[in-house]
């Protein structure tokens, strides 16, 4: 699959070595066995189950809504990732989410990445590509991934199913208390004791909470269909 948000790589190994490089590992010091062990573990790791009650009858009503509106991009279910467009990139003009991340990965950067590991021919990157959008990814464990979208600009699933004009313009990130009503972490609390949470301002460049909206993305579904869809997504 073309993943890594903008779909710029199909190789998990290259993505991981690139991330290790970015956080300070150098080709001679890279802990290859640990990276491979993590990779192998991740390949079939199952997400933790949703920890609150799930209304099975409501979730079963959400299943066909998901199949109709979401499955072709996000996979048949939380465990079956088949689907016409899964692991492919949706062009930015279609998905219309914030394009700063996409633009920050330039063609020049892509070419320069090919120079890394120059003394290690078998490890030089071959799969990085400049793309023109964001990737359609599987949604396993989606309940635990909030805040949503590549820039974490939408605090919960309920808001993601609202048009962007209705999504919170600012909220707090970093609180670990769960919000089972909206499905995400509580994002309205700025401080607990000595701990201040990060104030996320969606009006800043790169922080936009728009896109992934309109009839193709479920934001104009009737409220009861949205509720059923969210209940179903809790089972992923």
Using CB under 6 A as the criterion, which residues of the chain lie in contact with ligand HEC when the complex forms? 69-70, 73-74, 85, 90, 95, 97, 134-136, 139, 142, 145, 148-150, 160, 212, 216-218, 229
How far apart, in whole angstroms, are the C-alpha atoms of residue 88 and residue 82? 12
Name the DSSP class of 31.
-
Take residue 104 and report the two structure tokens written for it. 């920050």
* Residue 51 dihedral angles phi and psi, to the nearest 5°: -85, -5
CB nearer to ligand HEC: give 20 or 89: 89
Q: Which residue is nearest to ligand HEC (CB)?
A: 218
CB of 134 to ligand HEC, least distance (A): 4
CB of 154 to ligand HEC, least distance (A): 8
Cα within 13 Å of Cα(67), Cβ side: 6
CB of 102 to ligand HEC, least distance (A): 8
Nearest to 70 by CA among 168, 169, 157: 157
CB nearer to ligand HEC: give 117 or 211: 211
CB nearer to ligand HEC: give 87 or 190: 87
CB nearer to ligand HEC: give 142 or 186: 142
Q: Is-contact 16 144, C-beta < 8 A?
A: no
């Amino acid at each position: 699959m073309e993943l890594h948000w903008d779909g710029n790589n199909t190789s998990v190994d290259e993505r991981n070595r690139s991330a290790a490089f970015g956080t300070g590992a150098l080709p001679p010091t890279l802990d290859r066995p640990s990276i491979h062990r993590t990779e192998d573990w991740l390949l079939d790791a199952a997400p933790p189950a949703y920890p609150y009650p799930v209304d099975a009858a409501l979730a079963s009503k959400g299943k066909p809504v998901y199949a109709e509106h979401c499955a072709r991009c996000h996979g048949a279910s939380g465990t079956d990732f088949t689907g016409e467009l899964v692991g492919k990139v949706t062009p930015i003009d279609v998905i219309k989410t914030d394009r700063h991340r996409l633009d920050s990965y330039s063609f020049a950067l892509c070419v320069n990445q090919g120079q890394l590991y120059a003394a290690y021919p078998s490890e030089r990157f071959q799969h990085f590509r400049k793309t023109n959008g964001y990737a359609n990814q599987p949604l396993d464990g989606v309940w635990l991934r909030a805040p949503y979208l590549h820039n974490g600009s939408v605090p919960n699933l309920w808001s993601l199913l609202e048009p962007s004009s209705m999504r919170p313009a600012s909220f707090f990130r970093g609180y670990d208390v769960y919000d089972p009503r909206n499905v995400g972490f509580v994002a309205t609390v700025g401080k607990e004791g000595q701990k201040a949470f990060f104030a996320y301002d969606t009006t800043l460049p790169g922080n936009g909470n728009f896109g992934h909206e309109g009839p193709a993305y479920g934001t104009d579904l009737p409220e009861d269909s949205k509720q059923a869809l969210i209940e179903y997504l809790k089972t992923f």
